[in-house]
Chain A
């Protein structure tokens, strides 16, 4: 028995539990689109292929299942690049399918031809080009496993149109094409356990690998067993709840000061599923040379970046942390003093966000979002100041509740990833926190949201600038603003309404709460255009260069060590900048 390539493709996806594909049609994928009419898989029609990938990404981050996106050849393929690269940088499982010109036409400069195989290589975990019908089931089967196995990531499959139209032996579709599992090396567990027992100032550095490995409960159990404070990266937000007493909050360029102090003063860092990125771990945040590192990661390429003596445990986070917890057994806390100090730091690191200022301050927006957040809410962010305010001030209580483009920092991620999240969890309320620059990059997806009935709440922090770059120009380039002023303000509320969505202007802090409630109660997509103070920076700000003093801004943190007076008024704080 044989089956048409296009049908076989969808059948194999169905067999693997795929229920949603995000895509945009074009000449070379018409056969697949024709088959979609007969498939139980739902197709979500986007308005720009970049967003098909971002939606698949958001879908995957929330559900833990691979997101699937589909585009035509040529520009359809190149338009996916940013979305795939974003997923790759944050290790998100994804299958990206692209059409291709017929195999006989490859290389002769045909209409909408691009060498997508070469193009995708630097931004995918693996990629395939199907050049004969037997390869199709093989590619799909392996791709599905590769994207989910070990460190997850996107896999790209290029599909020449003649392959999709040819007949495939059905037996091939159920054949096992086993891939090798990543090797493991857990020989360091005993040493790691000893180091943990001996440590006087241990911290856990919790990264995105914890959520991906579904190891939050295990990490929590470990942290509570050894009573070690936890700091998270941006990607680790939600691995432990914000309200947990041991959670010190996020560390990084715009992280919490108490988390920074804890990391800097540690004598042992237990790094779990994190890659020591430059924005998190750098000469200004890192602990002293004598600090040791225990690192658990499934991907050996992430070991050794920290430059400290270390034990590397190469395995899945869940397994590694379980083994470590077992090896430690009954634990006797010998770092009580450290915990007392760290908890004191945490108490001093309380952000004042309930600000009545007008123009509105973004902190106040976060305060109001915190008020309405519950377990059923998913937050996505865009990139830049909005993202850092959200990271710094929001209370994130569970994994897969906070989605953000961490490593690639892709502006425009916020809205489409929210639509992907809503597809994965229709029962959840999804709030996308974005800036005006990033929203413009993907504004057309309001049409997708409305037409595909994927209602989300968009909280636009509108300051009329490309704020993060502006902030750098303000603080480090003599206030020489170049290419960051967005000029005449755009009426986003009118744009939202033009698409058939709802829109509300919010110009006063006191109106925020009601507007948010209204948006959340709305069964349609609703955009809040919140005019915020363009002069407000995201602070504190910790550059990688230790010679540049930390920009504190409104942060009242006083670690009791330095010369920072306590109980400062707002003016004094600003003068310190």
Chain B
């Protein structure tokens, strides 16, 4: 079997039905085989977005996203998208073409040392140099991407290998990878700690969603009556409306969440990495607080600087074990739960503003009206993302997709297109800013040409808003290179790509515009002019001694 055919066959055998890519000289053999394959190829307009789409696809579905590019610039263009998936532990296979094995190292056309390049931004990577390598690398790559803490795997494919013959028997061979080592010996101490805690908090991160352990989490929380806080990556692992859900924690999280978290005497951390934006001097609990941490990745342990029990296993398994051990549990923290519940009630955001210009809270208010179980929200990065995180009601896992750890501007639109490819029955809505939108707006062409209609809601304030906010609050309003001056007309641009576009300038027009956009079934850009002076608040300043910036927050 030809190498290119073997590659696609192995992917087909693993259930891949969609891949995102862009052709080029060194991958023509693969593109030729795609014509005869059951796999759908989605042609993007910049390879960065092939990776973001594969990422959005994976986050929305739990399946492995697959992207493909040519050698050289095709490979380097994917770097940002792969790094984004890596930072958020998203399973992905990234294939890049490469010059022929005989030309490697000779500065051939479109050659880059992709193997070295990708090492820093992938969970693992391979360069296939023989037909045996090819079968081995795809098989192992597939397993590695999905096993343990998930992540992107890169496979570099020299063009001669794609044209070479490969023994079909190799395609079926098992190349087993080792499962991550587990250590659940801490369960009984953990149980003991939970039983004795008087102010326990569950801290549920993205690992709960990756492990599909949302129902196990809710079960444990309900059984023990312990309040739950989530970092941004954990949004959706417990519904926003659940009485025990205190909401998101972090630089722009809910204030009741920060209060609850910092007062805790026990944190039960599940699938979260204690990132600097979540766990900081402003939010960290007292030194005597203990931590129970469940994580499949041992490198995530010990970052919190507190006495801890580390349970090294999959979030689902860890939660099940804890629940099992706590069968006889009776709460001795009734007072605590009552007071956290009070805090939650006091932490109500007013969103229904009829100001002019529009403020973003109102947009979130209107979005909450149209979000249902069938809606997937993606965000870009910056203020738009923080407003969405803070104000949107997210009811289920994989409903809210956002570039958390890497914070990649431009993620919103392509991730929405990827999500739409994974879940065609869903409505995908990207909440973006005007800066991030410009980084990837060429993908409107992909959405239209590939019939993957998505709605993009632009919170257009004419600034690189988050950096501007920092300059306003911490740098004496010395605005340097954050004003976008004459922004393009995004509606006209949408139309130039044969998409729909709607301008919104009044708060009273938002609802109808969103409804029109969703109902149209077409790719639609809703360009909402929002008040450039509105900041994302509350905000925990980077300076540990500075006090919280409250803004409109009424808590």
Binding site for B on A (CB under 8 A): 23-27, 30, 33-34, 36-37, 43, 45, 47-48, 50, 74-75, 78-79, 81-82, 85-86, 89, 101, 105, 108-116, 118-119, 121-123, 275, 277-279, 305, 383, 405, 407-412, 437, 440-441, 443-444, 446-447, 450-451, 466, 468-469, 472-473, 477, 480, 482-488, 490-492, 494-495, 497-500
B273-293 CB mask vs A (1 if < 8 Å, else 0) is 101110000000000000000
List chain A residues, Cβ under 8 A from B84.
Answer: 75
Top 9 A-B pairs, shortest CB-CB distance: A487-B449, A122-B113, A498-B492, A33-B480, A494-B496, A75-B408, A410-B73, A78-B80, A482-B31
Question: A470 — nearest CB in chain B belongs to which residue?
Answer: B23
A491–B288 CA distance with the chains assembled, in angstroms: 63
| Given A33-B471, A409-B73; 4 other pairs, CB 8 A cutoff | A114-B120, A408-B110, A469-B23, A490-B496
Nearest chain B residue, comparing its CB with the CB of A383: B73
A278-B275 Cα distance, complex, nearest whole Å: 47
| CA A447 to CA B24, docked complex, whole Å | 28
B357 at interface, CB cutoff 8 A: no
A26 contacts across to B, CB distance below 8 A: 467
A-facing mask of B74-113, CB < 8 A → 1, else 0?
A: 0011011001100100000000000100010011111111
- Contacts A121-B116, A278-B103, A407-B109; is A444 near B438 (CB within 8 Å)? yes
Beyond A119-B121, A483-B41, A487-B448, whether A85 also contacts B83 by CB under 8 A is: no
Q: Contact partner of B438 among A47, A113, A441, A480, CB < 8 A?
A: A47
Q: Is the CB of A482 within 8 A of B405?
A: no
Residues of A within 8 A of B124 (CB): none
Instruction: Check A122 against B112 for contact (C-beta < 8 Å).
Output: yes
Interface stretch of the complex, out of B164-172, B206-214, B318-326, B439-447: B439-447
Q: How far is the CA of A123 from the CA of B46 in the complex (A)?
A: 20
A47 pairs with B73, CB closer than 8 A? no
Q: 8 Å CB contacts to A: which residues of B458-476?
A: 464, 466-467, 470-471, 475
Consensus secondary structure, chain B interface: loop
Q: Are A486 and B445 neighbours in the complex by a CB distance under 8 Å? A: yes
- How many angstroms between the C-alpha atoms of A122 and B438 in the bound complex? 29
B109 adjacent to A278 (CB under 8 Å) = yes
Among B340-348, B483-491, B504-512, B530-538, the stretch in contact with A: B483-491
Contact between B32 and A480, CB atoms less than 8 A apart: yes
Bound-state Cα–Cα, A473 to B27, Å: 11
B130 within 8 A of A: no
Enumerate chain A residues within 8 angstroms of B521, measured Cβ to Cβ: none
Pairwise interchain contact A34-B72, C-beta atoms closer than 8 A? no
Instruction: Check: B298 CB closer than 8 A to any chain A CB.
Output: no
- Shortest Cβ distance from B3 into chain A, in angstroms? 15
Report yes or no: B113 in contact with A111, Cβ–Cβ below 8 A: no
Q: What CA separation (Å) do A466 and B108 show in the bound complex?
A: 21
Are A118 and B119 in contact, CB atoms less than 8 angstroms apart?
Answer: yes
Chain B residues whose CB sits within 8 angstroms of the CB of A119 once the complex forms: 79, 117, 120-121
Interface size class of B (residues with CB under 8 A): 35 or more
B478 contacts across to A, CB distance below 8 A: 34, 37
Q: Does B28 belong to the interface (CB within 8 Å)?
A: yes
Question: Which chain A residues lie closer than 8 Å to B107 at the CB level?
Answer: 89, 275, 277, 407
| Distance between A108 CB and nearest chain B CB, rounded to angstroms | 6
CB-CB under 8 A from A101, the residues of chain B are: 276
- Are B28 and A111 interface neighbours, CB within 8 A? no
Contact in complex: B72, A85 (CB < 8 Å): yes
| Residues of the B chain whose Cβ atoms lie less than 8 Å from the Cβ of A105 | 276
A contact residues around B495 at 8 Å (CB): 491, 494
Judging by beta carbons under 8 Å apart, are A446 and B488 in contact? yes
Known: A25-B482, A34-B475, A119-B121. A111 touches B276 (CB 8 A): yes
A23 surroundings in chain B (CB, below 8 A): 481
Write out the residue numbers on chain A whose beta carbons fall within 8 Å of the beta carbon of B103.
278
Are B303 and A122 in contact, with the CB atoms below 8 A?
no
Q: List 12 A-B contacts (CB under 8 A).
A: A37-B480, A45-B484, A50-B77, A81-B76, A85-B72, A85-B73, A85-B112, A109-B87, A443-B442, A466-B22, A483-B23, A498-B489
Q: A30 to nearest B CB, angstroms? A: 6
Q: Do B492 and A473 touch (CB < 8 A)?
A: no
Mark B residues whose CB is within 8 Å of A. Answer: 21-25, 28, 31-32, 34-35, 41, 43, 45-46, 48, 72-73, 76-77, 79-80, 83-84, 87, 99, 103, 106-113, 116-117, 119-121, 273, 275-277, 300, 303, 381, 403, 405-410, 435, 438-439, 441-442, 445, 448-450, 464, 466-467, 470-471, 475, 478, 480-482, 484-490, 492-493, 495-498
With a cutoff of 8 Å between Cβ atoms, the chain B residues found around residue A43 in the complex are: 480-481
Q: Is there an interface contact between B41 and A36, defined as CB atoms closer than 8 Å?
A: no
Q: Are B43 and A494 in contact (CB under 8 A)?
A: no
A487 to B41, CA, bound (A): 14
Is B488 in contact with A451, judged by CB distance below 8 angstroms? Answer: no
Tell me whether A488 and B498 are in contact in the complex, defined as CB-CB below 8 angstroms, given that A25-B464, A450-B486 are known contacts: yes
**A497 and B466 alpha carbons, distance in the complex (Å):** 28
Provide the residues of chain B in CB contact with A50, threshold 8 Å.
Answer: 77
Chain A residues, Cβ within 8 Å of B35: 480, 482
B21 CB contacts on chain A under 8 angstroms: 483
Contacts of A491 in B (CB 8 A): 495-496
Smallest CB gap from A101: residue in B: B276
**Nearest Cβ in chain A — how far from B79, in angstroms?**
5
Contacts of B45 in A (CB 8 A): 437, 440-441
Q: Is the CB of A30 within 8 A of B475?
A: yes
Q: Which residues of B contact A487 (CB under 8 A)?
A: 43, 445, 448-450
Q: Which residues of B contact A409 (CB under 8 A)?
A: 72-73, 109-110
Among A45, A111, A277, A469, chain B packs the most CB atoms within 10 A around the CB of A111
Cross-chain contact B481 with A33 (CB below 8 angstroms): yes
B83 is contacted by which of A37, A114, A484 (Cβ under 8 Å)? A114
Q: How far is the CA of A427 from the CA of B103 in the complex (A)?
A: 42
- Once A74-B407, A447-B484, A487-B445 are accepted as A-B contacts, the answer to whether A108 and B496 lie under 8 Å apart by CB is no
Closest chain B residue to A484, Cβ basis: B23
Most chain A CB neighbours (cut-off 10 Å) among B77, B84, B275, B441: B77
* Closest chain A residue, CB of each to CB of B446: A487
User: Are A443 and B405 touching (Cβ within 8 A)?
Assistant: no
Is A82's CB under 8 angstroms from B76's CB?
yes
Q: Please tell me if the beta carbons of B73 and A443 are within 8 angstroms of each other in the complex.
A: no
What's the least CB distance linking A49 to chain B, in Å? 9
Q: Given the complex, which residues of A lie within 8 Å of B484, measured CB to CB?
A: 45, 447, 451
- Per the bound structure, the CA–CA distance linking A434 and B410 in Å amounts to 23
Q: Is the CB of A108 within 8 A of B303?
A: yes
Verify A447–B488 contact, CB threshold 8 A.
yes
Q: How far is the CA of A79 from the CA of B23 in the complex (A)?
A: 20
What is the CA–CA distance of A123 and B48 in the complex, to the nearest angstrom? 18
Given the complex of chains A and B, what is the CA–CA distance between A440 and B44 in angstroms?
A: 10
Q: Most B CB atoms within 10 A — which of A50, A86, A275?
A: A50
A440 touches B445 (CB 8 A): yes
Roughly how many angstroms separate A499 CA and B482 CA in the complex, as a whole number? 18
Known contacts A109-B273, A484-B23, A278 near B496 by CB under 8 Å: no
Chain B, residue nearest A84 (CB)? B76
Taking a contact as CB atoms under 8 Å apart, the answer to whether A500 and B486 are in contact is: yes
Given known pairs A30-B467, A447-B487, A466-B23, the reply for A486 and B32 (CB within 8 Å) is no
- Are B498 and A79 closer than 8 Å at their CB atoms? no
- Least CB distance, B358 to chain A, in whole angstroms: 21
Q: Provide the bound-state CA to CA distance between A366 and B482, in Å.
A: 39
Expressed in whole angstroms, the Cα–Cα distance for A108 and B278 within the complex equals 13
Do residues A495 and B83 form an inter-chain contact, with CB atoms below 8 A? no
A476 and chain B: residue at smallest CB distance: B28
Taking A121-B116, A469-B23, A487-B449 as contacts, is the C-beta distance between A30 and B470 under 8 angstroms?
Answer: yes
A78 lies within 8 A of B83 (CB) = yes
A115 to B79 Cα, complex, angstroms = 12
Across the interface, name the chain A residue whose C-beta is closest to B115.
Answer: A122
- In the bound complex, CA of A497 to CA of B496 (Å): 10
Cβ–Cβ < 8 Å partners of A114 in chain B: 83, 87, 120-121, 406
Interface centre among A25, A447, A468, A473 (most CB of B within 10 A): A25
Most buried by B among A114, A115, A488: A114
Closest CB in chain A relative to B183 CB, distance in Å: 21
